[in-house]
Amino acid sequence: MNSGGRNARIGSIAFNTFREAVRDRVLYNLIAFALLLSGAAILVGEISIDIERLVVVNLGLTAVSLFGVVIAIFIGIGLVSKEIDKRTLYTVLSRPVRRWEFVVGKFFGLTGTLVVNTFLMAVGVFLALLYVAHRFQKMDAWILVALYFIVLQFLIVCSLALFFSSFSTPLMSAVFSFALFVIGSLAEDLRGFARIMHGMEGWIATAVAYLVPNFSALNAIGPVAHGDAIPGRLILYNTVYALLYSTMTISGAVLIFQRRNLK
Amino acid sequence: MSGGRRVDLAAAAVLLFSMAGTVATLDRIDHMRRGTAAQDAIYVRSPKLLRRMSLGYTGLVADIYWTRAVQYFGEQHHAGSSDFHLLAPLLEITTELDPRILPAYEFGSNFLGPTPPNGAGQPQSALALMRYGIAHNPEQWRLYYNLGFLYYTEFKDYAGAASAFAQGAQVPGTNPFMPILAARMAQHAGEFDTARMLWSTTLQSTKDASIQENAIEHLLALQVDEAVTRLEQVVEKYRELAGHLPASMGDLERAGFIRGTQADPTGRPYKLMPDGRIEVNDPQSFPFITKGLPPGAEPPQPRPPAKKDSK
């Protein structure tokens, strides 16, 4: 099988995953997001002094992140099991589609859905910002970096949800993914704990601290809300880290899915 | 090799490569962001807001903030920085989220009080922290002890220290030294003995190895300070009697002022200098000594702890 055909198959699975997500009314969350943000933008001007920009950026970016994580987990965990339940997986795999292509295609499809979703939410954040501040400032450009980091977060969450769904039930996959998201958000503290532990416990803590995803460094909401710049090297390292971590998790999912008995 | 096996091998190789890559990248990110965890934390300065945001899990959030405070202090201290401006807010948030987190008061006041680089040089903040701790934990004798310690070491406020030790002496299950310390402070007597009693109480009442090590170093430093003071008094007496300074320790021994070699706790003999001062052979062996140093020399800095920061 040539690489052009392989890419076309992966692209086709990714596009179908995206189309299915849209058909499942996933993008309806945008309505809730728009209501939340416009409500906050209008209210904050009435009830607080001088923190309108801060509230809109904090609330907007937090909502983008949380909505996206919830979508990534709840769609990601069903990607494999739904196909098995509906028996559509057999139809797909009976064609010249290999299992790993199926997993990778699903990952790209889900990631694509979240990128589109994030883009639309980002437009909402900037509109709300314009409403409360009446004009954009130079420091608002850093919000784009925070949004980019959120997309990197989604890459990791999608890969984790897909990884767990390759061997576990949807419910347990959701629990595992969400737990890892929470633990990963405290990853820097976890490595801090590991640094002050000794002996075998120290080794185990260090191994766990490196194995769980590091979402702390990908959260730049606080700094950008205060107009702080994000160093270029951090953008580079975070990009490399998110790509490597999701590649690692997807490779694990491929290894498991290759062995999974689908009968 | 079958197609499935080839995919397995490729996936395993990619997995291992990416795993190694994530570890290396994470190290670089950590290196860049060292200390920013604490700074991020400070973006939310209001303990009340944090209490609401923690959805009732205030104990866990307080533990996280306490860990951040320790790491922040440890990293700044290790880097030789004298900037500890985030320490007080971190401790304030920690203790307001969980007013019963005793280590935050005990260690926290010792991080805040001393002058940089040994501490943040904010004794007033340390005092406020201890008072807040006592208000919320009046049954803890150690907090009164720490308050008295703070009054004594950072403010030289003997009345304040005596009052704190006396209050702590009333607490059920208190340390037997507390009433003695209160009396000594009230009399303002015997500087060396009082300091020795304080550090001995600290040594006996803690299980933390780093605090024990720190207390032992203070006790050794006191031993040196006391010996140097005594020897310099002897030298002065010799000068008064003989009309000139002794040329060596042998002169003092022959005159019957001392017996045998006068050595520091490591066994190295004290040096008699031509101007009559007494010096230790190796000042670096005794962090916290204030006497026996060459003229103009700063007291040696305590060794940075390997893993954990000490009192």
CA distance A225 to A234: 17
Do residues B169 and B183 touch, judged by C-beta distance below 8 A? no
Residue B120 within any structural domain of the chain:
yes
When CB atoms are compared, the residue of A222, A231, A237 closest to B43 is A222
**A159-173 burial: b if 16+ Cβ within 10 Å, else e:** bbbbbbbbebebeeb
Nearest CA in chain A to B60: A186
Residue B188 within any structural domain of the chain:
no
When CB atoms are compared, the residue of A198, A225, A226 closest to B307 is A198
Number of separate domains in chain B: 1
Burial bucket for residue A100 (CB in 10 Å: 0-12, 13-18, 19+): buried
For each of chain B's 311 residues, which pLDDT tens digit applies? 676 788 888 989 999 999 999 999 988 888 877 655 555 556 566 777 777 776 667 787 888 888 788 878 887 877 777 888 888 989 998 998 889 888 899 888 888 888 877 788 899 999 999 999 999 999 999 999 999 989 988 888 888 988 998 899 889 988 877 877 777 776 665 667 777 877 788 788 777 777 778 778 888 988 998 899 999 999 999 999 889 999 999 999 888 888 888 899 999 999 999 999 999 988 888 877 888 888 877 666 555 444 433 33
Do residues B122 and B146 touch, judged by C-beta distance below 8 A? no
Burial bucket for residue B245 (CB in 10 Å: 0-12, 13-18, 19+): middle
Q: What is the pTM of this model?
A: 0.64
Number of separate domains in chain A: 1
User: What distance lies between CA A204 and its chain's CA centroid?
Assistant: 27
Residue B235 within any structural domain of the chain:
no
Residue B179 within any structural domain of the chain:
no
CA distance B311 to chain A (A): 16
Q: A84 is in which domain, residue-wise?
A: 3-259
CA distance B115 to chain A (A): 25
Residue B113 within any structural domain of the chain:
yes
Which residues lie closer than 8 Å to B224 by C-beta, 6 or more apart?
B264, B265, B280, B286, B289, B291, B292
Torsion of CA A38, A39, A42, A46, to 10 degrees: -160
Residue B114 within any structural domain of the chain:
yes
Q: For residue B300, say if its preceding peptide bond is cis, omega within 30 degrees of 0.
A: no
What are the two backbone dihedrals, phi and then psi, of residue B281, each rounded to the nearest 5 degrees?
-70, -45
Across the strands, what pairs with B279? B271
Which residues lie closer than 8 Å to A205 by C-beta, 6 or more apart?
A190, A193, A194, A197
Do residues A177 and A76 touch, judged by C-beta distance below 8 A? yes
Residue of A254, A256, A257 to mutate, testing the B interface (most B Cβ within 10 Å of its Cβ): A254
**Sign of torsion over alpha carbons B286, B290, B291, B294:** positive
Residue B184 within any structural domain of the chain:
no
Q: B101 is in which domain, residue-wise?
A: 37-137
CB contact under 8 A, B11 and A245: no
Nearest CA in chain A to B61: A186
